[in-house]
Amino acid sequence: MRVLVTGGAGYIGSHTTLALLEQGHEVLVVDDLSNSSPESLRRVGELAGREPGFVEANVRDEQALDAAFASFRPEAVIHFAGWKAVGESTQIPLTYYRENLGSTFTLLEAMGRHDCHTIVFSSSATVYGELSEPPFREDAPTGATNPYGRTKHMVEQVLADVSASDPELRVGVLRYFNPIGAHASGRIGEDPKGIPNNLLPFVAQVATGRREKLMVFGDDYPTPDGTGTRDYIHVVDLAAGHLAALDYLGSHDGHHVWNLGTGRPASVLEIVKAYQEASGVAIPYEVVARRPGDVASSFADPSLAEQELGWRAERSIADACADTFRWQSENPNGFAGA
């Protein structure tokens, strides 16, 4: 199948592009490289034995997108491109709304003009907010507590409305829990710019000495060890979930929503311990105040994806820590050192 992948040079996009190429699909990546490096795609090409096509453009660039659709004639789209930092989204909300909503509009319109009827969208478990208790099922109430999360929630609603208006359109909304890990080769992985916001990239940089210690945001949550618990899912399992969704949409009409998670919560201290074991390096940490906006616990009920897609997460947190450690030690400066 010919699959156009927006944001395909990024963390989850590059792992999914690799999985698509490995399964024999043709891939065209559209990415403006605002938060990624072309080196990730070069390495994806190396691992797959063939390079994906690449257009350097913002997805909101209608002309560039039209040209890409006209020449590549995609049968499906996977839409990863977007801004994703919660804190930043409260500082520059308009940028988040413009980029994350605008890119989706441009993309859906181009799909309409070019006879492409299948889209898989990168959503987030952040849409469950604090409206109910985990494990979250797809039919739980949704909302969001910050501009980033609201863009995900709004795009979900746009997709549902457009799908209701167009019986030909096939939509798969994937709600990711907490993606971690890297490809087992150590060649591609997460390469955050600046100080990492997310737990595992921060821990990884403490282990290599780039940061002094981890700040644990609160140990007074109502969880087994008092630190926040999350559903950490290996990025290679997550990538496989996209292929399963595309496969399902090949023979099912309509609009579908699936959680991609493991269903097993792990605490901050469990992650620290797992990373110490994988790396053999002690991770100094200090417990500080809770981070505003954090919930005590978030994890999936992943049973719908298992029933409908035949997909489940296979890899453990130990695997993810070992893979992140390999990626981080072999690429201490991410793709920049290449």
C-alpha closest to that of 188 among 73, 69, 3, 22: 22
- Distance of closest approach, residue 89 Cβ to ligand UD1, in angstroms: 9
Give residues in contact with ligand UD1 (CB under 6 A).
86, 124, 126, 149, 178, 197-199, 202, 214-217, 228, 230, 268, 291, 293-294, 298
Rounded CA-CA distance 304/117 in Å is 23
3-state secondary structure at position 82: coil
Given 3-state DSSP classes, what are the helix, strand and coil percentages for the chain, each rounded to the nearest 5? 45, 20, 40
- Distance of closest approach, residue 221 Cβ to ligand UD1, in angstroms: 8
Nearer to ligand UD1, 54 or 232 (CB): 232
In SS3 terms, 198-249 reads as CHHHHHHHHHCCCCCCEEEECCCCCCCCCCCEECEEEHHHHHHHHHHHHHHH
Nearer to ligand UD1, 124 or 163 (CB): 124
The CB-nearest residue to ligand UD1 is 228
- Distance of closest approach, residue 13 Cβ to ligand UD1, in angstroms: 14
Q: Which residues are catalytic?
A: 148
Nearer to ligand UD1, 108 or 180 (CB): 180
Query: Around 213, how many Cα atoms within 13 Å sit in the side-chain half-sphere?
Result: 8
3-state secondary structure at position 118: strand
- Distance of closest approach, residue 128 Cβ to ligand UD1, in angstroms: 10
C-alpha closest to that of 287 among 228, 205, 229: 228
Nearer to ligand UD1, 68 or 206 (CB): 206
- Distance of closest approach, residue 116 Cβ to ligand UD1, in angstroms: 27
Nearer to ligand UD1, 132 or 307 (CB): 132
